[in-house]
Amino acid sequence: MNRPVGIETEYGLNCEGFAGPPDFAFESAMLIHAAPLPVAFRGWDYTDEDPRRDLRGTRVDALKHDPNDHLGSTAQSSRMTREELLADTVLLNGARLYNDHNHPEYCTDACRTVLDLVAQDRAGEALMHEAEKAHNERLDGGRVRLVKNNTDYHGRSYGCHENYLTLREVPLDHLVEALVPFLATRQVFAGAGRVGIEGGDAGALQLSQRADFFETVVGINTTTRRPIFNTRDEPHADRTRYRRLHVIAGDANRSEWATGMKAATTALVLDAVEAGWRAPIRLRDPVAAVQQVSHDLTLGAGIELDDGLNVSPLDIQRWWLSACERFRGRDAETDWVLDEWDQVLTELRADPAAVADRVDWAAKLVLLRDLGPAPEAARRLDFAYHLLDPSLSVHQWLTDRGRMRTLVTPAQVEEARTTPPSGTRATVRGRLLAKFGPAITAMEWDRVHLHRNGVNVTVRLPEVAGPEIDRLSALVEKCATIDDVVAALDAEGG
C-alpha cells in the first residue's frame, strides 16, 4: 500500500447466564483489564484529540449518539472511575485497546503493507480471545463471548473503521466524489454478510452487516446519522500536510483476504485521486444505493446515476479498477491487489459461490444453501461465524478444513502480537515501551511522554513513516537508557 493504513474494531459482547441484566460497559472494561499483557502501558493522552473537528473546516458543538447505546444496566460501571471504565491500554506492537461505547475496541497501529495489516488485525483477534477467557475465569456465574461482527440483531450497530493517511492538499470534494460510489459498491467483495434486514425479512441474507445503518452521505457522526463519507478531522500526524480519512462504511471481516483487499483497494483509489483522477459518475441516491447493493444477492440490479443511467455495482467496481490500473508495475503487492480485484469481480459475475473461499458473505451463502436452515437457525449460523472462540466459530471451522483462504501464518500472527508494523512510528513507540516502559507517563499515536530525573521528556512523531521515523527507530534501538535517548536527540537537534 502506498500509504499507512490502520483498522479499529469494536467487538460485540454476548453475555450469557447472568443473574440480572448485564452491565455491558462494566463487562467490556473488565475484559480489557483481564487481558494477559506482561508488558503494556495503561493510559492514553487525550490532550490534543478533538473528534468534533470537521474536514469541511468547521467544529460541531456536539456529536450525535445512538440513544440505544446508553440503555441497560449501569449498576457496576457507574461506580468506576473514568480511567477504569475507559481501560486505555497501549501494547508492544503499537496497538491501542480500550472500552468504546460499551464495546472492547482493538486499534492496530498504521501499517504499510497488506500482510502487516492482516497480521496485526489477526493479532487483535488472538489477544481479544485470550482476554475473553481470562475475564470468564474471574466471573462468578455467567459467561461473556466476543463476536467480531457489526450488529446485535436488535437495532444496534457497532463499527469496524479503517484509517488512511491522505494528503491535505487534495480537494475534499474530489475524495467524496471518488469514495462514495466506491464504498457503496465495495461490499460486493468486502461485505461480511448478514442474515436479516432491519425492518424487513429476518431470514434474508444480505451482503453487508452495516449497510442498513447508514443514513446520510457526508457527515461527522459515527454512532447515529452515520455517513458513507465520514468527515472527522483528527489526522494524528502533521495536520498541515495530512488528513486521516476515517472510513466507517465497512464491515468487520473474518476473512483475511477480505480484510486485506478492502484496505488495499481503497488505498489504490486514494492513490488515483491524489494523482489527479476524478470520478466519472455520481450516484443519484447514495444511501439508497448502499442498501440496494447489500440486499441484492444477484449483484445485477442497476444503481441509478445522476444522469439517469442504471449500472450494476460490479460495473462501478470495474470502472474504479480501471482507474487504478495506472499503478500496475509499481510493486508486487500492487499487482497482486489489481489481479485479485479483477478476478473476484469476474467470478462474482459468473457465480458468487466461486468466491466463498475469500468473501465472507459468499461463504455464508454456500453454507446456507447446503444446510437450508430455517430463519432462526440461519441467524444462529450467522452469529457463530463471527465468534472469536475457535472451538465455536463457524469461520474457524471452515478455515481448518481449507475452505477459507488465508494470507498470513499462525507464526506471523503470533509475532504481530508483540512486534509493531515495520517501517512506521509504531516501531519507535513499541521500542520505547519495551525498553523504558516504567518511565512512560503518557502515550498517543504521535508522541510519547517520559519522566527522567524530575524532568518531563516528550518524543514527538508527527510523521507516520519515512526517513525521520527510520532515524528515530534506529536511535531508540541503540540507546540503553533514557539519558542516552535524550542525549542522542539533543546531539541531533531533535
- pTM for this one? 0.97
Residue-wise pLDDT for 402-430, tens only, equals 999 999 999 999 999 999 999 999 999 99
Could you give all domains of the chain from N- to C-terminal order, each with its CATH number? 5-414 (3.30.590), 426-491 (no CATH)
Is 100 a catalytic site residue? yes
- Residue 373 in this model has a pLDDT that exceeds 80: no
- Residue 7 in this model has a pLDDT that exceeds 80: yes
Residue 67 has what pLDDT? 73
Mean of pLDDT values over 71-94: 95
Distance CA 327, CA 341 (A): 13
Using pLDDT thresholds of 50, 70 and 90, give the confidence band for residue 21: very high
Q: How far is CA 83 from CA 78, 88, 98, 403, in A?
A: 12, 7, 10, 43
Cβ atoms < 10 Å from Cβ of 473: 21
Residue-wise pLDDT for 246-270, tens only, equals 999 999 999 999 999 999 999 999 9
- Residue 494 in this model has a pLDDT that exceeds 60: no
**For 207, how many CA atoms within 13 A lie in the half-sphere containing its CB?**
28
Residue 454 has what pLDDT? 83
- Residue 66 in this model has a pLDDT that exceeds 80: no
Using pLDDT thresholds of 50, 70 and 90, give the confidence band for residue 92: very high
The residue count of the chain comes to 494
Residue 422 has what pLDDT? 93
163 — phi, psi (to 5°)? -130, 125
Mean of pLDDT values over 201-218: 96
Using pLDDT thresholds of 50, 70 and 90, give the confidence band for residue 72: confident
Mean of pLDDT values over 122-128: 98
Closest alpha carbon to 464 in 286, 298, 142, 237? 237
Strands 214-219 and 226-230: parallel
- Identify the weakest region by mean pLDDT among 26-40, 327-341, 448-462: 448-462
Residue 490 has what pLDDT? 80
Using pLDDT thresholds of 50, 70 and 90, give the confidence band for residue 48: confident
- Identify the weakest region by mean pLDDT among 81-90, 216-225, 429-438, 452-461: 452-461
Residue-wise pLDDT for 302-357, tens only, equals 999 999 999 999 999 999 999 999 999 999 999 999 999 999 999 999 999 999 99
| Residue among 45, 88, 100, 121 flagged as catalytic | 100
Contact 385, 393 (CB under 8 A): yes
Contact 222, 232 (CB under 8 A): yes
- Residue 458 in this model has a pLDDT that exceeds 80: yes
Distance CA 290, CA 301 (A): 12
Using pLDDT thresholds of 50, 70 and 90, give the confidence band for residue 147: very high
